[in-house]
Amino acid sequence: MEVLEAIRKRRTVRVPFTGEKVPEDIISMLMDVSNISPSGDPISWRLARVDDAVVKAGLARIVKEDFGDYFQKDGERFRRVFSEYPKWLRFSAEAQDGIRLGSFPKAARYFYSIALGRRFGPLFGKLGVMNAEIKSYCRNIMSNPVLFGVFLDRRVNSTAITPILNTGSMLQNLRLAATSLGLCYQDLGWITATKTASDKARKLLGMLENYVAVNFFRIGYTDGLERESKRSDFRRNLKDIVHVGQFGGNKYHAQPIKKTDIQLLDAIRGQGAKRDSQPVLEDDMSYILEAARWAPTGFNVQPFEFIVTERDGVAAIVVLENRERRDPDPGPCEALARGGVLQNIRLAARACGLIVEIKNLIAIDKENVREEFCIPKQYTIVTSIKVKGGSK
Ligand SMILES: Cc1cc2nc3c(=O)[nH]c(=O)nc-3n(C[C@H](O)[C@H](O)[C@H](O)COP(=O)(O)O)c2cc1C
């Protein structure tokens, strides 16, 4: 499957998987993909496969308890989540972001938008309005052919952001590779959304204390995609998320998106011809930005925006994150999502025969970039990326 085709086709699948076994050679291929993903040295993540039905049931129990906390504790997390939910769970077909809940009768939509809101959420929560949701989530944890836990090794670097970004990039490689192999994939980030839940999951899997559980995911097959009622196939338009020259600068006029003949797995492996040091063309940039646009984010909040510019005579993209578009309950999810968008950019650049240089910006760099590109305070500067031809 061609790179951008896989990036656009990849979807989170939330319906139950069939019991069909995923062949072991496919799983080892996916493990190879994880091993050649961007990483520090030594590799800072570890994947732990979960086969045992008792352990799966234990993970489901963790989610139930975690959900239960919402209704029992009247803390900050509780208030935040219930004020944000209605914003990201959408019913209308026109919604450009959030997760769209299909197949809801009109009366139920009205009821849910009130029942999941900040004011009445606690009451309806206690009455069990989320029970069906929790049940289907737990069913997905328990019945699936392949389930993995994703752990960060704190010994590698307990404070730097790079290890978790790399983990996010690795996960995006796995999602895309699974898509290109005809498999379905779902992140199960709820299991690690809070420190308490993440600690319980780590203990349950028998991992030592230096490992932190940051995500879980499942892979399998399904024959019932038409039953999918929660979808997030909307993305903000490029013209709304790309700034030219500086923040709020000229409008971006997206080019028609080209097609390359580079296959996803080849791009992941870094195979494919590199171009000489020619300028990055407009259609290269559109291709790369289109790939960035389709990166998955928790609750499909799509916080990323991009400034297209030149730095030191080279085409560059400054990646921003709008803090006003926050996942209701982010946990490690936000940082993992950043790694995902960076990986889409890397792979798309490779498909165009280009290379990227992703800068690890320190605080002072960020302040300079903020000033240079007139970036408002509510935007976090994720990184600055140079895109160029040539092999260096
Ligand atoms: C780190 C991470 C964790 C996620 N956790 C969950 C999850 O627990 N359950 C779920 O259904 N989707 C989860 N998602 C999927 C997002 O909701 C999804 O990517 C987003 O809505 C966009 O939809 P798409 O993946 O179909 O394009 C997660 C995504 C990321 C990046």
> Domains, the chain, ranges and CATH?
238-388 (3.40.109.10)
* Mutate which of 187, 222, 327 for ligand 1 pocket (most atoms within 8 A of beta carbon): 187
Question: In the prediction, which pLDDT does 360 show?
Answer: 84
Average pLDDT over residues 151-161: 83
Count CB atoms within 10 A of the CB of residue 241: 19
Q: How far is the CA of 191 from the centre of ligand 1 (A)?
A: 13
167: CA distance to ligand 1 center in Å?
A: 15
Q: Residues 37, 169: contact at Cβ < 8 Å? A: yes
Binned at pLDDT 50, 70 and 90, residue 156 comes out as confident
> How many whole angstroms separate alpha carbon 210 and alpha carbon 165?
18
Q: What is the mean pLDDT of residues 344-373?
A: 94
In this prediction, residue 213 carries a pLDDT of 97
Ligand 1: centre distance to CA 389 (Å): 33
pLDDT in tens, 307-320: 999 988 899 999 99
* Ligand 1 atom at minimum distance from 13 CA: 26
CA 138 to mean position of chain CA atoms: 20
- Tell me how far apart the alpha carbons of residues 18 and 20 are, in angstroms, rounded to a whole number: 5
Check if the beta carbon of residue 237 is closer than 8 Å to that of residue 300.
no
User: Is residue 254 a contact partner of residue 238, using CB atoms and an 8 Å limit?
Assistant: yes
Q: pTM to 2 decimals?
A: 0.94
The answer to whether 154 and 214 are in contact (CB under 8 A) is no
Residue-averaged pLDDT of the chain: 89
**Residue 298 CA to ligand 1 centre (angstroms):** 5
Read off the pLDDT band of 229 (50, 70, 90). Answer: confident
Q: Is the CB of 328 under 6 A from ligand 1?
A: no
Tell me if 140 CB under 6 Å of ligand 1. Answer: no
Q: Is 337 close to ligand 1, i.e. is its CB under 6 Å away?
A: yes
CA 175 to ligand 1: nearest atom: 25
**Span 200-217, pLDDT tens digits:** 999 999 999 999 999 999
CA of 372 to the centre of ligand 1 (A): 33
Nearest to 192 by CA among 83, 366, 336, 351: 336
| Pocket lining: 7 vs ligand 1, CB cutoff 6 Å | no
Contact 188, 14 (CB under 8 A): no
What's the average model confidence in pLDDT over 342-354?
97
Confirm or reject: Cβ of 299 under 6 Å from ligand 1: yes
Residue 361 pLDDT > 80, yes or no? yes
Query: What is residue 308's predicted lDDT score, i.e. its pLDDT?
Result: 97
Residue whose entry in the numeric block shows the structure tokens 């129990």: 61
Alpha-carbon span 311 to 41, nearest angstrom:
28
CB 141 within 8 A of CB 309: no
Q: Tokens at residue 137, please? A: 């989530």
Query: Each residue of 134-145: pLDDT tens digit?
Result: 898 999 999 888
3-state secondary structure string, the chain?
Answer: CEHHHHHHHCCECCCCCCCCCCCHHHHHHHHHHHHCCCCCCCCCEEEEEECCHHHHHHHHHHHHHHHHHHHHCCCHHHHHHHHHHHHHEECCCCCCCCEEECCCCHHHHHHHHHHCCCCCHHHHHHCCCCHHHHHHHHHHHHCCCEEEEEEEECCCCCCCCHHHHHHHHHHHHHHHHHHHCCCEEEECHHHHCCHHHHHHHHHHCCCCCCEEEEEEEEEECCCCHHHCCEECCCCCCHHHHEEECCCCCEECCCCCCCCCCCEHHHHHCCCCCCCCCCCCCHHHHHHHHHHHHCCCCHHHCCCEEEEEEEECCEEEEEEEEECCCCCCCCCCHHHHHHHHHHHHHHHHHHHCCCEEEEECCCHHHHHHHHHHCCCCCCEEEEEEEEEECCCC
Cα 266–Cα 269–Cα 271 angle in degrees, nearest 5 = 55
Interval 169-194 mean pLDDT = 96
pLDDT at 391: 59
- The pLDDT, as a whole number, for residue 158 is 65
Cβ atoms of 193 and 329 within 8 Å: the answer is yes
Is residue 302 in contact with ligand 1, taking CB distance under 6 Å? no
Tens of pLDDT, residue by residue over 70-111, are 666 656 677 777 777 778 887 766 667 888 887 667 777 778
The tokens describing 162, both together, are 């790079």
Whether the CB of 336 sits within 6 Å of ligand 1: yes
186 by Cβ neighbours in 10 Å (0-12 / 13-18 / 19+) ranks as buried
